Amino acid sequence: MKALRFMLLLGLALGAGDALAAGPPCTLIRGASLPGEDGERVVDVVVSGDRVAEVAPAGAATATGCEEVDASGRILTPGLVDPYTQLGLVEVSLEAPTVDTDLKAPFQDGSGQIRASVRADYAYNPRSSLIPVTRLEGVTSAISVPAGGTVSGSSFWVDLAGPRQADAIQRAPLAMHASLGARAESRATAFQTLDVALREALDFAARQAAWEQNRTPGFLLPRLDLAALLPVARGEIPLVVAVGRASDIEGLLRMTEGTRLRLVVAGGAEAWMVRDALARRRVPVILDPLVYGPRGFDAVAARPDNAVLLHAAGVPVMFSTFSSHHARKLRQLAGNAVREGLPHQAALDAMTRVPAEVFGLADHGHVAPGAVANLVLWSGDPLELSTRVEGLWIHGQRLPLTSRQTALRDRYRRLPVDRTR
């Protein structure tokens, strides 16, 4: 870490309590390489409070009195975003009391297939040991997603900021989640469930007043679910559909033709086969480039260059580990997509700019004045396996590069065990 020299300049010799009261200090990150559409620029980045205040050519930053970080020879990127995780909803996957992804609840339709009204964010545990572990690999934001049923409930966007829900949760509900594909019954039933639920939400909006006066028949779905689905049907929040088989994606596109839905495909093992249709409808795809092989009959045509073909066709691409404990592998996924032919910048965008745009968090996913200061300083190419995170800021706060795992590492660094650590 000798390249990262900290120079405490005037005015910042405050105690911890004072610092808290004064808000985060301003930070000047000097001489970082900032990748972008037009190649890398060497810049100074000023962070003030929780935002980026200035991005200037190296040496040209005007801020004074900031804590300075020498970032020369280092790469600076926005914090990475995994848009489909269970972070903060799972601690140990096989220990049921630590798993909070299933939103089946009493106040919803009896089949358990529609859980639209339940929000996952109240279950979010910002003190989960997974969060620092994930952060150490440069992931600063995640969307945490419920599972189960055909309509699984709503997700939320978190910045992996610290121990308070209020600091971490950026938007909830963020998006509605559904799944199509193989199930006990015909997969056709899931299409109908989703279709009816979304149509009835609009119908509900149109007939609610009459219904409250008993002048019109009731609804198939509980009112709570209809209310939760209304912003989805109106295109106010995205509908993320977990679906892999090409024909299921086609079915989804056919079924929703002419609607105002903001569709996002998650999984999309065979999405490359219907890339032109996805591009026409501007439907983004969240995928895992590491999954390769006909792992089931919904993925017979899975191929490693899925992201490459989708991107070339104009489909916005994002990457996800679809995981909790593996979310830290995100940049390895991107590296593999580049290996298969995806442009390097597109791979970085897929983990930063694209999820911010698709999910409507305009102040995330880029390094520019006014953006939330979620920043990662890398020792080299962020996608390369030998590269390490050397600096990490979330909401302008520099976070220590520690986790429960680094504590174990330090305790067992030498044997016999050092019980003082």
Partner 1 sequence: MRRTATRVALWGAVALLWSACATAPAAEREGDPGAPTALEQLEARAHAPVEDPDPAVGGPFTLQGATVMTATGERYAPGYVVVVDGRVEAVGAGTAPTPKGPVLDVSGQFVTPGLIDAHSHLGVLAEPHVKATDEVNEAVAPNTAGVWAEHGFWPQDPGLERAARGGVTTLLVLPGSANLIGGRGVTIHLRPARGARAMRFPGAPDGVKMACGENPKRVYGQKGGPQTRMGNVAGHRAAFAAAQRWLADNRGKKPEEVARDVKMETLAAALEGRALVQVHCYRADDMLAFLAAADEFGVTVAAFHHALEAYKIRDILAARHIGVATWADWWGFKMELYDGIPENLAFVAEAGGDAIVHSDSGEGIQRLNQEAAKGLASGRAAGAQLSDDDALRWITVNPARALGISDQVGTLEVGKRADLVVWDRDPFSVYARARWVYVDGVRIIDRDAARVPWSDFELGQEVER
Is residue 335 at the binding interface for partner 1, with CB under 8 A as the rule? yes
Query: Are the CB atoms for 387 and 73 separated by under 8 Å?
Result: no
Residue 219 CB, shortest distance to partner 1, in Å, is 38
Tokens standing for residue 293? 């092989």
Is residue 343 at the binding interface for partner 1, with CB under 8 A as the rule? no
Question: What number of chain residues touch partner 1 (CB under 8 A)?
Answer: 44
Q: Give the C-alpha separation, 386 to 240, whole Å.
A: 34
Is residue 336 at the binding interface for partner 1, with CB under 8 A as the rule? yes
What are the φ/ψ torsions at residue 317 (nearest 5 degrees)?
A: -115, 135
Q: Which CB sits closer to partner 1, 154 or 321?
A: 321
Q: Which CB sits closer to partner 1, 16 or 96?
A: 96
Q: Where do we find the tokens 């620029």?
A: 41
Residue 50 CB, shortest distance to partner 1, in Å, is 28
Is residue 275 at the binding interface for partner 1, with CB under 8 A as the rule? no
Is residue 321 at the binding interface for partner 1, with CB under 8 A as the rule? no
Among 296, 314, 369, 400, binds partner 1 (CB under 8 A): 296
Residue 39 CB, shortest distance to partner 1, in Å, is 18
Is residue 370 at the binding interface for partner 1, with CB under 8 A as the rule? no
Among 254, 280, 413, 421, binds partner 1 (CB under 8 A): 413
Query: Are the CB atoms for 226 and 200 separated by under 8 Å?
Result: yes
Q: Give the C-alpha separation, 165 to 15, whole Å.
A: 25
Q: Give the C-alpha separation, 46 to 56, whole Å.
A: 8
Among 202, 224, 301, 312, binds partner 1 (CB under 8 A): 301
Which three-class secondary structure string do you get for 324-366?
CCCHHHHHHHHHHHHHCCCCHHHHHHHCCHHHHHHCCCCCCCC
Is residue 186 at the binding interface for partner 1, with CB under 8 A as the rule? no
User: Among the candidate windows 23-31, 55-63, 110-118, 329-337, which touches partner 1 by CB under 8 A?
Assistant: 329-337
Q: Which helix (H) or strand (E) holds 17?
A: helix 16-22
Tokens standing for residue 408? 């174990």
Q: Give the C-alpha separation, 248 to 106, whole Å.
A: 30
Please choose, from the candidates 39, 217, 183, the residue with its C-alpha nearest in 3D space to the C-alpha of residue 113. Answer: 183
What amino acid is encoded at 33 in this protein? Answer: S
Please choose, from the candidates 244, 305, 249, 307, the residue with its C-alpha nearest in 3D space to the C-alpha of residue 274. Answer: 249
Q: Which CB sits closer to partner 1, 223 or 388?
A: 388
Is residue 409 at the binding interface for partner 1, with CB under 8 A as the rule? yes
Is residue 314 at the binding interface for partner 1, with CB under 8 A as the rule? no
Is residue 292 at the binding interface for partner 1, with CB under 8 A as the rule? yes
User: Among the candidate windows 66-74, 138-146, 259-267, 319-327, which touches partner 1 by CB under 8 A?
Assistant: 319-327
Residue 334 CB, shortest distance to partner 1, in Å, is 9
Q: Which CB sits closer to partner 1, 254 or 411?
A: 411
What CA–CA distances, in Å, run from 149 to 176, 194, 242?
12, 11, 11
- Residue 287, strand partner residues: 319
Is residue 402 at the binding interface for partner 1, with CB under 8 A as the rule? no
Q: Where do we find the tokens 């093992």?
A: 269
Q: Any residues with CB less than 8 A from the CB of 60 and at least 6 apart, and which? A: 44
Among 369, 405, 418, 421, binds partner 1 (CB under 8 A): 405
Site for partner 1 in 215-274 (CB under 8 A): 273
Is residue 332 at the binding interface for partner 1, with CB under 8 A as the rule? yes
Question: How big is the CA angle at 298 (ends 269 and 296), to the nearest 5 degrees?
Answer: 100
Among 293, 314, 343, 370, binds partner 1 (CB under 8 A): 293
CB atoms within 10 A of CB 11: 12
Assign 59 to helix, strand or coil.
coil
Is residue 339 at the binding interface for partner 1, with CB under 8 A as the rule? yes
What's the CA dihedral at 33, 36, 39, 40 to 10 degrees? 0
Site for partner 1 in 72-91 (CB under 8 A): 91
Among 45, 130, 307, 354, binds partner 1 (CB under 8 A): 130
Q: Which CB sits closer to partner 1, 226 or 376?
A: 376
Q: Give the C-alpha separation, 47 to 55, whole Å.
A: 9
- Residue 419, strand partner residues: none
Q: Which CB sits closer to partner 1, 258 or 416?
A: 416
Residues that bind partner 1 (CB under 8 A): 91-95, 129-130, 133, 273, 290-297, 299-301, 324-326, 328-329, 332, 335-336, 338-339, 383-388, 405-406, 408-409, 412-413, 415, 417
